[in-house]
Amino acid sequence: MPSYPARTRCATNVMAMVMAGGQGSRLMPLTDKRSKPAVPFGSRYRIIDFVLSNLVNSGIFTIYLLVQYKSQSLIEHIRKAWTISPLFPDQFVTVVPPQMLSGSAWFSGTADAVAQNIDLIDHQHPELVLVFGADHIYRMDLQQMIAFHQEREADVTVAALPVPVEQSPHLGVIAADDDGRIRDFQEKPARGTPMPGDSSRVYASMGNYIFNSGCLVRALREARRHGGTDFGNHVLPRMLTSNRLFAYNFADNRVPGIKSYEEHAYWRDVGTIDAYYAAHQDVLGAESALDMFNPQWPIFSSNYQGPVAKVLRGDVDNSLFGAATVVENARVKNSIVRREAVIEEGAEVEDCIIMDYTRIGRGAKLKRAIIDRHNLVEHGSRIGIDPEEDRRRWVVTPSGVVVVPRGRTPFFARDSRGFGIGYSE
């Protein structure tokens, strides 16, 4: 893994447990063969890379990934991309599947997943345990959230995102005092309690938590006695009567290297195809809402050693290309093309996401489409052009994005000059 810039380390012993078992049913067919955190994002990343990068950039290196559904793709990615340091025993990213040490059931919720792995907390003896999701696209300096937690002498701190009050019916809303002390959790209310000092917005829970270790263990054991399996729905509301819970305003977080034109508190839940597609549009353009080039806060991913992209000829406008991509006299506009893809002569690709190891044949025309890995789009194909035909063959989202699922057969494609396109998960 590439080196990262030096920054202040945690003054306290911290471990992270990342909820990486998401099934991602609303992202089908992209999650047909992989879990949600393993879904590719941008020209070289996976969704999981964002939370892991935030952790290591924040100086947190003891990281457990709790996995469950269709985890092999994610496991392979972690093995290849996330070896931190074999020299220091407390610096690792390791995958933890359901081990059923206390029963025969799989994880049945976020709190149950952590409860089934209390032995990991006992082994590490941390002062703080971070429980974070793996399903979102964002940058965040967790040291600032830790500082807030310690200054408030909190037992639990919940990351909170300010959103318009009109979105309340779709969210878990946090009602908090001026100092951030949480007074209530409201699940999808018609109109949530406004955040302090702003009647137009509410605090939405981001599903990211900091716990004092002893407090977490006690709460999990109590939750098991009462059948509680989820932090947001069961554990945290019960803790309100006996513990100090605070909301941390994500909008106050300051990540170094963010450019003036970026959306300062950028955070996206890419839980649907349309949201996933829209987030990709956010990384395009000269002044993108999320600029992926930030040497002061890099997003790490695989150490792929292949060659750079090649544009032999063509018309390219506002597009990103992964390593070893080949464009042969084609037109590519407002698109993201991941590694080892080939776009053949005369093809037109506009407003698309083309994933790894895919070949777009001569004369094919694609518009507002997501083409998953290992696909061969035949010569002259039309995708995203005829809505009725697209719906007969593929998944089409409410906004009209066409999704072609992952190809079934591994193949080795080559461009006209013999450039090899390999096969890999």
Q: What is the pLDDT of residue 418?
A: 45
Question: Other CB atoms closer than 10 Å to residue 386's CB: what's the count?
Answer: 11
Listed residue (136, 146, 135, 208) closest to 14, CA to CA: 146
> Angle at Cα 151 formed by Cα 147 and Cα 156, nearest 5°?
80
- Please determine, looking at this structure, whether the domain spanning 310-421 carries the CATH number 3.40.50.280: no
Q: What is the pLDDT of residue 366?
A: 98
Q: What is the pLDDT of residue 126?
A: 95
Start-to-end Cα distance in the chain: 19
How far apart are alpha carbons 131 and 133 in whole angstroms?
7
The residues of the chain that CATH labels 2.160.10.10 are: 310-421
- Please determine, looking at this structure, whether the domain spanning 14-269 carries the CATH number 3.90.10.10: no
Q: What is the pLDDT of residue 228?
A: 79
Q: What is the pLDDT of residue 22?
A: 76
The residues of the chain that CATH labels 3.90.550.10 are: 14-269
Q: What is the pLDDT of residue 414?
A: 46
Q: What is the pLDDT along the chain (425 residues), one digit of tens a residue?
A: 434 344 444 557 999 999 997 778 899 999 999 999 999 999 999 999 999 999 999 999 999 999 988 889 999 999 999 988 778 888 899 999 876 556 556 666 788 889 888 999 999 999 999 999 999 999 999 999 999 999 999 999 999 999 999 999 999 999 999 999 999 999 999 999 999 989 999 999 999 999 999 999 999 999 888 877 888 888 999 999 999 999 999 999 999 999 999 999 999 999 999 999 999 999 999 999 999 999 999 999 988 888 999 999 999 999 999 999 999 999 999 999 999 999 999 999 999 999 999 999 999 999 999 999 999 999 999 999 999 999 999 999 999 999 999 997 554 444 444 444 444 45
Element holding 16 (H helix, E strand): strand 14-19
Q: What is the pLDDT of residue 409?
A: 53
Listed residue (38, 79, 84, 94) closest to 59, CA to CA: 84
Q: What is the pLDDT of residue 305?
A: 85
Q: What is the pLDDT of residue 101?
A: 57
User: Are residues 168 and 192 in contact, defined by beta-carbon separation less than 8 angstroms?
Assistant: yes
Q: What is the pLDDT of residue 109?
A: 77
- Chain centroid to Cα 73, Å, comes to 15
Tokens of 116: 């089934």
